[in-house]
Amino acid sequence: MYRALLLSLTCLVSSAANAIEYQLPTDGSNIVGTPNYYEVQKGDSLADIANKYNVGFLGMMSANKGIDPFLPAPGRLLEIPTKVVLPDVSHKGIVVNLAELRLYYFPKDDASKVYIFPIGIGRVGRETPSMTTTINEKVKNPTWTPPASIRKEHAARGDILPAVVPAGPDNPLGDYKMRLAYGHGEYLIHGTNKDFGIGMRVSGGCIRMNPWDVEWLFPHVALGTQVRIINQPVKYSVEPNGKIIVEVHSPLSKDESQIGEKKTLTAPKQLIEDLNYDNDAYQVLNKALDDQSGIPVVLN
């Protein structure tokens, strides 16, 4: 049964310099992609599987609660979060939804497509802020000048950073950076030289991408491209057939005391109104708000 299900679904697999392309619906829907499933093989880790499908690590964990991330049981069928409710925001340029740890790219020259990437964002205490801005600099093979605050943090751990880190394999920015015209220019979209951290809150505030993803995105994004960073843990869509579908993500921790704790969520007021006193739908919604799986759920 599992193998039949696997064969019946389209598998979205990423490779170097090739982005996953989603067709935008033309019927008024606000949902892209299809569900995918993967049967765990011996030696797999959740990070390996996330990379295979180009989704985030925490997103995989949320969609498959109770799974050992390092040694998932062979033969177990995992759900891959490749069906997505689009954020409630203008479909233009780059959209980053912090709560779901995803970056959306809506190409200016093709309104029929969207590209979706897993990202790493600022850790607690160095949060990536919400903003509307633009790309104002693009650099291939960048150097990295660690801010004084970062150098101080590393020095406290006995790790002395140089004033400037040259381009190359030791550069944490990877091979590409795009600077945001926000604040003093301290926020970047960039690659990484590490093999972890995508789909997690690990950066100093920048948007971190897989090397193969930023390699693809860099030449497609022009200077002046709009970048909108939002925080929407609850997304929903009223579909053309009247069905209401919700996708709920765990809200970001605001301070260290909340790390690892389950946080409560309330539904947007408009969603409550759209349910129109459907008690069964309310019950499904409350379960989705509690589960916070990141998987779209049909409410009615």
User: pLDDT per residue over 277-296, tens digit each?
Assistant: 999 999 999 999 999 999 99
**Longest C-alpha distance within the chain, in Å?**
61
Average pLDDT of the residues in 245-255: 92
On average, the pLDDT of the chain sits at 90
As a whole number of angstroms, the distance between CA 136 and CA 129 comes to 17
Between CA 90 and CA 228 the distance in angstroms is: 9
Q: Cα-flanking dihedrals φ and ψ of residue 116, to 5°?
A: -125, 130
pLDDT tens digit string along 217-242? 999 999 999 999 999 999 999 999 99
Q: How far is Cα 60 from Cα 67, in angstroms, rounded to an integer?
A: 10
Domains and CATH numbers, the chain: 34-82 (3.10.350.10), 120-229 (2.40.440.10), 234-298 (no CATH)
Q: Is the pLDDT of residue 216 over 70?
A: yes
Phi, psi of 127 (to 5 degrees): -65, 145
Residues 222 and 211: their CA atoms lie apart, in Å, by 19
Task: Find tokens 């892209």 and name the residue.
Answer: 32
Encode pLDDT of 11-35 as tens digits: 344 344 467 899 999 999 999 999 9
- Average the pLDDT over 192-212 and give the result: 91
Burial 167-199 (b: 16+ CB within 10 A, else e): eeeebbbbbbbbbbebeeeebbbbbbeeeebbb
Q: What is the pLDDT of residue 18?
A: 63
| pLDDT(2) > 80 | no
Contact indicator for 47, 196 with CB cutoff of 8 Å: yes
3-state secondary structure 227-258: EEEECCCEEEEECCCCCEEEEECCCCCCCHHH
pLDDT of 148 over the 90 cut: no
pLDDT tens digit sequence for 74-120: 999 999 999 999 999 999 999 999 999 999 999 999 999 999 999 99
pLDDT > 90 in the chain, percent: 77
Tell me the C-alpha distance between 99 and 199, whole Å.
10
Which residues belong to the active site? Answer: 190, 206
Contact in structure between 265 and 289 (CB atoms under 8 Å): yes
pTM above 0.75, yes or no: yes
Q: Which H/E stretch holds residue 154?
A: helix 148-156
Could you tell me which residues come within 8 angstroms of residue 209 by beta carbon, excluding any fewer than 6 positions away?
103, 117, 119, 120, 189, 190, 191, 192, 198, 217
Buried b (16+ CB within 10 A) or exposed e, 230-266: bbbbbbbbbbeeeebbbbbbbbbbeeeeeeeeeeebe
